[in-house]
Amino acid sequence: MTWQQRVLRVNLTRGSCEVEPLNMEWAQQYLGQRGLGSKYLYEEMDPAADALSAANKLIFATGPLTGTLASTGGRYSVITKGALTGAIASSNSGGKFGAELKLAGYDLLIIEGESPKPVYLSIEDDRAQLCDARHLWGTTVWHTEEAITAGNPQIKVASIGPAGESGCRFACVVNDRHRAAGRSGVGTVMGAKKLKAIAVRGTRGLASAQGHATLIAKNRKIKQNTGYTMNGTLGMMDVTNRFGSLPTRNNRQVQFEDAEKIGVKAMQTPNRNGHRNLVTNAACFGCTIGCGRICKIDPSHFSVRDKPEYHGASGGLEYETAYALGSAVGVSDIDAATYAGFLCNEYGMDPISLGGSIAAAMELYEIGAIDSTITDGLELRFGSAEALCTITEWIARGEGFGQDVAMGSKRLCQKYGYPELSMAVKGQEFAAYDGRAMQGMGLGYATSNRGACHLRADPYSHDFKTTDIEGKAAIVKNTQDEIAFIDSTGLCAFTGGAGWSMNDYSELVDAVCEGDWSEDKMRLVGERIWNLEKQFNRKAGLGRADDTLPRRILDEPAPSGVGKGLVCRLEDMLPDYYRARGWDDEGNPTATTLARLGLE
Ligand code: SF4
């Protein structure tokens, strides 16, 4: 049994830290991480409460396979009501923090209330205490990690940067310098609670080593030297650009003429100064894939020429960041995009929402909805690497027009009278796939419980086969349920791309967890999690009107690529999707569905 069966509950208002037993009945129904954290959140908070109020809770949740010998078994999730979306948020991170929390003896860490002054939480196995963090408030993630660990690499830190403190709506929680629970503004919630960081050192180990031989045997099934190992996720850029689903300039185009300048080859080939962007790859705890990119900016580049502190290596571009800080804003300068990515890690911002919000601001500027008197003199034009770097610095520090962009594209575009220019669902900016050539992804974005996201459904292979919508509703529904389960195990979803099947996940969980964890049960648990999230959102006030896409994707035909001339046929797919889910025409789970899932 690899649940530690313990929850650490921290009340910031009272300043208390208490250990309580994990609800094992819920663990059998929701497994761990995303599922179990969502169950606790659903039971303990009023979904209608303001995300930034003391009534919101922030749950750090590991899975039963976190901290084990399973490849990629180092994941944790941060579950809360999202500051960006007002919907349930569940952001997943790797690195080493999650495993350390588990090895300190906790499945879940529940943060409640609001501290009167900045604090950080220090955990050393059974010893948990809140410490004064006034000296850290206003400092970056990188500084905070250095200050708290004081050179001891065994202490793992998850923290927020100045963006989370200043109320940037897409602030994230960063651990291990460049791994992040990135989406939906979970770092904004942490900042509102005045919790700067969580530092953890765990030596308790796992409750049992049962089943570990199975885990090791399964690890051998992960293909070595997969595309992820060699190229990270960036290899996808060639695929989507050729297909015509690479969002470009706020989705005005779907192919980027300079994609190769921010792609794999550009990252791996020395530039004319002999400088190579890629230094090496990196892996999270226990991972045998190692998709992470460690990169260096050319020291002679304008963005860092006078800033030696950025001349070292750090987390580099991945496919999503290369899109958000590249094609989405029309920028083909790999060093500028890498610099903006460094700032995201250092100041604690979700690069996808940051890039999507800057892209919206650039379109507002280009159509004349805002001008340089509003942008503090900045010429915010698509393709300007200088503008990308400058506005990212302003957003990170909460300065000038950066404060408007820090609200996220939805609030920004509403403020300046063009809400339709926000390329977002439920307030969360699109990931790197356009829903016109990829119809299944369009449906996946619209129905995602946490807003637009590429990691909530897996219609990729079918979308790349055909732009037809036949059968896509069922594929989206089924893969949403499967991913909800994988996100609850403690494993990384990229294991699917490296060779594991649903049967492998069920065998892995079954090997280490008490109870029957057949493939059928796994799918039922995933469906239960999805419906629980949906129920949270309904109580938070979200409904049928929120399962939609921006007008551009629904009404403006794709200008090129395989999907040329197509719009997303969302309204044709949605009824089939609701039917497949056992929901009514308004997208509400029926009483029969709720009863079947034990959610009455
Ligand atoms: S595949 Fe990549 S993101 Fe997933 S655990 Fe491994 S290094 Fe981390």
Q: Which ligand 1 atom is at minimum distance from the Cα of 287? A: 6
Backbone angles phi, psi at 469, to 5 degrees: -100, -5
Q: Which ligand 1 atom is at minimum distance from the Cα of 282? A: 7
Least confident of 190-199, 494-503, 569-578, 584-593: 494-503
Least confident of 204-208, 252-256, 302-306: 204-208
> Percent of the chain having pLDDT more than 90?
94
Q: Which amino acid is at 177?
A: R
Residue located via tokens 């606790």? 40
Q: What is the mean pLDDT of the chain?
A: 96
pLDDT higher than threshold 90 for residue 9: yes
CA gap 487, 490 in Å, rounded: 7
Among protein residues, the one with the nearest Cα to ligand 1's atom 8 is 284
Residue 1's pLDDT is what?
A: 66
- Residue of 20 and 210 predicted with greater confidence: 20
Residue 426's pLDDT is what?
A: 98
Residue located via tokens 């994707």? 553
Expressed in angstroms and rounded, the spacing between residue 65 Cα and the centre of ligand 1 is 14
Residue 48, token pair as written in the block: 């209608």
Expressed in angstroms and rounded, the spacing between residue 158 Cα and the centre of ligand 1 is 17
pLDDT higher than threshold 70 for residue 195: yes
pLDDT higher than threshold 90 for residue 293: yes
Residue 473: CB atoms within 10 Å: 23
CA gap 170, 427 in Å, rounded: 10
pLDDT higher than threshold 80 for residue 159: yes
pLDDT higher than threshold 80 for residue 224: no
CA gap 302, 385 in Å, rounded: 10
Q: Which ligand 1 atom is at minimum distance from the Cα of 94? A: 8
Q: Which ligand 1 atom is at minimum distance from the Cα of 290? A: 7
Q: What is the DSSP letter of 223?
A: P
Residue 266's pLDDT is what?
A: 97
C-beta separation of 173 from 180 below 8 A: yes
pLDDT higher than threshold 70 for residue 209: no
Selection from 176, 157, 155, 123 nearest residue 4 by Cα: 123
Structure confidence at residue 28 as a pLDDT band (50, 70, 90): very high
CA gap 597, 522 in Å, rounded: 12
Expressed in angstroms and rounded, the spacing between residue 243 Cα and the centre of ligand 1 is 26
Total residues found in the chain within this entry: 600
Selection from 90, 108, 185, 96 nearest residue 145 by Cα: 96
> 3-class SS at 364?
helix
CA gap 171, 316 in Å, rounded: 18
Selection from 396, 444, 453 nearest residue 424 by Cα: 453
Expressed in angstroms and rounded, the spacing between residue 72 Cα and the centre of ligand 1 is 6
Among protein residues, the one with the nearest Cα to ligand 1's atom 5 is 72
**Pocket of ligand 1, beta carbon within 6 A:** 72, 94, 228, 283-284, 287, 289-292, 492, 494
Residue 425's pLDDT is what?
A: 98
Q: What is the DSSP letter of 467?
A: S
Residue 117, token pair as written in the block: 């002054």
* Phi-psi label, residue 266: left if phi above 0, alpha if psi -120 to 50, beta otherwise: alpha
- Residue of 209 and 231 predicted with greater confidence: 231
Mutate to test the pocket of ligand 1, among 66, 176, 228, 234 (most ligand atoms within 8 A of CB): 228
Expressed in angstroms and rounded, the spacing between residue 326 Cα and the centre of ligand 1 is 22
Expressed in angstroms and rounded, the spacing between residue 383 Cα and the centre of ligand 1 is 31
As a dihedral over the C-alpha atoms of residue 554, residue 87, residue 139, residue 295, rounded to 10 degrees, the angle is: -50
* Phi-psi label, residue 417: left if phi above 0, alpha if psi -120 to 50, beta otherwise: left
Q: What is the largest CA-CA distance in the chain?
A: 65
Selection from 545, 588, 585, 549 nearest residue 570 by Cα: 549
CA gap 251, 255 in Å, rounded: 9
Q: What is the pLDDT of residues 377-398, one digit of tens each?
A: 999 999 999 999 999 999 999 9
> Percent of the chain having pLDDT more than 70?
99
Task: Mark out the alpha helices in 280-333 (DSSP H runs).
Answer: 319-324
Q: What is the DSSP letter of 443?
A: H
Among protein residues, the one with the nearest Cα to ligand 1's atom 2 is 291
Q: Which amino acid is at 201?
A: R
CA gap 512, 63 in Å, rounded: 11
pLDDT higher than threshold 80 for residue 473: yes
Residue 470: CB atoms within 10 Å: 11
Least confident of 214-223, 323-332, 516-525: 214-223
Mutate to test the pocket of ligand 1, among 68, 281, 291 (most ligand atoms within 8 A of CB): 291
**What mean pLDDT do residues 7-11 have?**
98
**What mean pLDDT do residues 96-109 have?**
98
CA gap 162, 168 in Å, rounded: 9
Expressed in angstroms and rounded, the spacing between residue 282 Cα and the centre of ligand 1 is 8
Mutate to test the pocket of ligand 1, among 93, 223, 287, 487 (most ligand atoms within 8 A of CB): 287
Expressed in angstroms and rounded, the spacing between residue 293 Cα and the centre of ligand 1 is 10
**What mean pLDDT do residues 22-30 have?**
97
| Chain-centroid distance, C-alpha 119 | 25
Among protein residues, the one with the nearest Cα to ligand 1's atom 4 is 492
Expressed in angstroms and rounded, the spacing between residue 179 Cα and the centre of ligand 1 is 10
String of DSSP letters for 560-586: SSTTTT----HHHHHHHHHHHHTB-TT
Residue 61, token pair as written in the block: 């949740």
CA gap 31, 25 in Å, rounded: 10
CA gap 102, 377 in Å, rounded: 49
**What mean pLDDT do residues 441-453 have?**
98
Residue 518's pLDDT is what?
A: 94
Mutate to test the pocket of ligand 1, among 97, 233, 284 (most ligand atoms within 8 A of CB): 284
Residue 598, token pair as written in the block: 């034990």
pLDDT higher than threshold 80 for residue 192: yes
Q: What interhelical angle do 141-149 and 334-347 show, nearest 10?
A: 50
C-beta separation of 68 from 215 below 8 A: yes
Structure confidence at residue 220 as a pLDDT band (50, 70, 90): confident
Residue 225's pLDDT is what?
A: 65
Expressed in angstroms and rounded, the spacing between residue 247 Cα and the centre of ligand 1 is 24
> Bridge partners of 281?
293
Residue 79's pLDDT is what?
A: 98
